[in-house]
């Protein structure tokens, strides 16, 4: 590990903004994974740089390289891709890095502390297992793996290892999500009664292919050999948020999936509707469609007294604008009349509203991801989670619950696909349950 004198300003600024630097026990109970990057042991990491390698130099990998430039406590020392075009592009971004075309050779490099895996989903499990076995810390793109068995293998390997493992579930490191979930868990908006998440785009999800034999490798998202489609690529983030909000796991899954518009030889659905049902009857209503973008992307947590749209970092109150009593009173004043004011009671009475006003979850400018980019969005937590991983590569502190959350979200997405393909309601299988899950 190399020496540096520069502090990790981005991560510290983020933690300070959350209040963690001034003692944030309540926040840590909302987002316990933040404990891995709180400055509990600053002496252990001060002045050192984590040596990071990138496996998978496509668009998302190159995005991580850009993010790495602003992380002072880490440097990119190696790059790996078996597609020369992408490897060359990444190498041009980091000319000092060593290059590999076989990730197993890269893992033999003793001068690497941690690896970023940004490859197609079908490769995640094998590469993660190999990297941990080689003693590397791992930061892997979500989702965890292509199959339920692979998920279980990775989870068990992680449990028996002391290596750091992060999954790029960036919402878990996004301030507006953390503060929004804290607001929900504190009960400020009443009991959570349901969740609605959707992700709509109008694009074919394809990339340009220079030669036909590269079709399946470059457009890997469309083929089941590498991809589980919309569920693992998009829904995974959103399902995790729902579980996080109520600290429970759904026990039943049903849904319907189809190729509605993009009938171009792809194997994965371009339209999915999945319902996840918790044991107490609450549900996640999930929908994704990539031939219409009108509804954009939203993660809505519906509470008895309000709704939090975590994507936008705003909440809406059921009894917003005016309660009916105050509304009637103002009308009386304007019309110079006198009558009883139905204002009092032990609580607000719900009132149907035709218009709701958004209120910010956090102060200041909020970055909103419209969900239309195939690569990344600005300030969505991706930079913070990567910085936290690099910090953990130095301290060796594993982030509490990150792997467990990724496991839960990924298995639910894969079960969503199974429910759609088999056309039946699926009970969460016993063999894939882990102690972390609360049903």
Partner 1 sequence: MENSFSYIAGSRAFHGSIPLVMGTRFDMLVCDIERRPAQDIWENICSNLAGMDGLLSRFSPESEVYKINEGLVSTLSPDLQTVLEICSGWWLRTGGLFDITKHDFRKLRWSAGAIDTGGEKLDFGGMGKGLALKYIQDLMESRGVTSAFVDFGSSSILAMGSHPFGPCWKTSVANPYEEGQVCEVCLKDNCLSVSGNRPSYSGHIINPGDGTPVNSRRIVTVVGRDPLEAEVLSTAMMIATPQERESIMENFPETEVKTYDL
What are the residues binding partner 1 (CB under 8 A)?
Answer: 19, 22-27, 182, 186, 188, 190-191, 304, 317, 319-320, 322-323, 325-326, 329-330, 332-334, 336-349, 357, 359-360
| CA 326/CA 158 separation, integer angstroms | 57
Question: At CA 348, angle to CA 344 and CA 351, rounded to 5?
Answer: 115
| CA 3/CA 47 separation, integer angstroms | 5
What 362-371 contacts at long range (C-beta under 8 Å, 24+ apart), as own/partner pairs, is 362/175, 362/176, 362/179, 362/313, 366/176, 366/312, 366/313, 366/314, 368/311, 368/312, 368/313, 369/297, 369/311, 370/296, 370/297, 371/199, 371/200, 371/201, 371/234, 371/296, 371/297, 371/311
Nearer of residues 66 and 326 to partner 1, judged by Cβ: 326
Nearer of residues 43 and 339 to partner 1, judged by Cβ: 339
Residue 106 near residue 116, CB atoms below 8 Å? no
Minimum Å gap between C-beta 306 and partner 1 is 9
Nearer of residues 194 and 396 to partner 1, judged by Cβ: 194
Minimum Å gap between C-beta 244 and partner 1 is 18
Minimum Å gap between C-beta 14 and partner 1 is 15
Minimum Å gap between C-beta 190 and partner 1 is 7
Nearest to 375 by CA among 50, 163, 52, 63: 63
Residue 165 backbone class (left: φ over 0; alpha: ψ -120 to 50; beta: rest): beta
Minimum Å gap between C-beta 204 and partner 1 is 42
Minimum Å gap between C-beta 355 and partner 1 is 14
Nearer of residues 234 and 308 to partner 1, judged by Cβ: 308
Minimum Å gap between C-beta 331 and partner 1 is 11
For residue 255, what are its two tokens? 């849904």
Minimum Å gap between C-beta 266 and partner 1 is 45
**Residues 6+ away with beta carbon under 8 Å from 84:** 101
Largest pairwise CA distance in the chain: 84
DSSP 202: B
Minimum Å gap between C-beta 186 and partner 1 is 5
Q: What is the DSSP string of 203-224?
A: S------SSGGGHHHHTGGGST
**Residues 6+ away with beta carbon under 8 Å from 284:** 194, 195, 196, 197, 239, 242, 250, 274, 275, 276
Residue 175 near residue 24, CB atoms below 8 Å? no
Nearer of residues 182 and 410 to partner 1, judged by Cβ: 182
Give SS3 for 169.
Answer: coil
Nearer of residues 20 and 138 to partner 1, judged by Cβ: 20
Measure the CA dihedral 236/439/145/426, to 10°. -90
| CA 138/CA 164 separation, integer angstroms | 6
| CA 296/CA 40 separation, integer angstroms | 40
Nearer of residues 18 and 368 to partner 1, judged by Cβ: 18
Distances (CA, A) of 346 to 189, 343, 353: 16, 10, 21
Nearer of residues 147 and 188 to partner 1, judged by Cβ: 188
Nearer of residues 7 and 23 to partner 1, judged by Cβ: 23
Nearer of residues 119 and 300 to partner 1, judged by Cβ: 300
Minimum Å gap between C-beta 283 and partner 1 is 18
Minimum Å gap between C-beta 182 and partner 1 is 8
Nearer of residues 88 and 191 to partner 1, judged by Cβ: 191
């Amino acid at each position: 590990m190399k020496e540096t004198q520069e502090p990790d300003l981005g991560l510290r600024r983020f933690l300070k903004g959350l209040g963690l630097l001034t003692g944030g026990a309540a926040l840590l109970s909302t987002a316990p994974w933040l404990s891995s990057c709180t400055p509990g042991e600053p002496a252990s990491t001060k002045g050192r740089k984590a040596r990071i390698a990138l496996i998978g130099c496509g668009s998302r990998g190159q995005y991580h390289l850009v993010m790495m430039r602003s992380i002072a406590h880490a440097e990119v020392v190696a790059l790996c891709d078996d597609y020369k075009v992408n490897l060359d592009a990444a190498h041009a971004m980091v000319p000092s890095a060593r290059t590999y075309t076989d990730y197993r050779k890269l893992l033999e490099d003793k001068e690497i502390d941690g690896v970023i895996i940004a490859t197609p989903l079908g490769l995640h499990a094998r590469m993660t297992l190999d990297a941990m076995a080689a003693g590397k810390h791992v930061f892997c793109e979500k989702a965890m793996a292509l199959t339920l068995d692979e998920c279980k293998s990775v989870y068990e390997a992680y449990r028996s290892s002391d290596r750091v493992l992060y999954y790029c579930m960036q919402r878990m490191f996004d301030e507006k999500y953390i503060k929004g979930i804290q607001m929900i868990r504190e009960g400020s908006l009443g009991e959570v009664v349901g969740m609605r998440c959707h992700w709509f785009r109008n694009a074919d999800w394809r990339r340009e292919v220079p030669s036909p034999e590269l079709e399946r490798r470059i457009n890997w998202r469309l083929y089941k050999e590498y991809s589980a489609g919309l569920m693992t690529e998009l829904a995974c983030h959103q399902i995790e948020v729902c579980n996080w909000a109520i600290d429970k796991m759904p026990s039943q899954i049903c849904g319907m999936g189809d190729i509605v518009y993009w009938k171009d030889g792809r194997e994965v659905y371009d339209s999915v509707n999945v319902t996840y049902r918790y044991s107490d009857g609450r549900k996640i209503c999930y929908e994704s469609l990539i031939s219409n973008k009108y509804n954009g992307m939203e993660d809505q947590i519906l509470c008895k007294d309000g709704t939090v749209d975590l994507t936008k970092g705003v909440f809406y109150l059921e009894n917003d604008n005016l309660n009916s009593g105050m509304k009637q009173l103002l009308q009386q004043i304007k019309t110079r009349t006198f009558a009883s004011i139905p204002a009092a009671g032990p609580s607000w009475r719900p009132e149907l509203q035709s218009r709701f006003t958004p209120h910010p979850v956090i102060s200041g400018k909020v970055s909103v991801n419209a969900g239309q980019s195939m690569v990344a969005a600005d300030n969505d937590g991706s930079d913070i989670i990567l910085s936290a991983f690099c910090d953990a590569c130095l301290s060796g502190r594993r982030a509490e619950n990150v792997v467990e959350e990724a496991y839960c979200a990924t298995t639910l997405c894969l079960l969503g696909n199974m429910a759609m393909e088999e056309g039946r309601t699926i009970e969460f299988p016993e063999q894939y349950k882990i102690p972390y899950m609360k049903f």
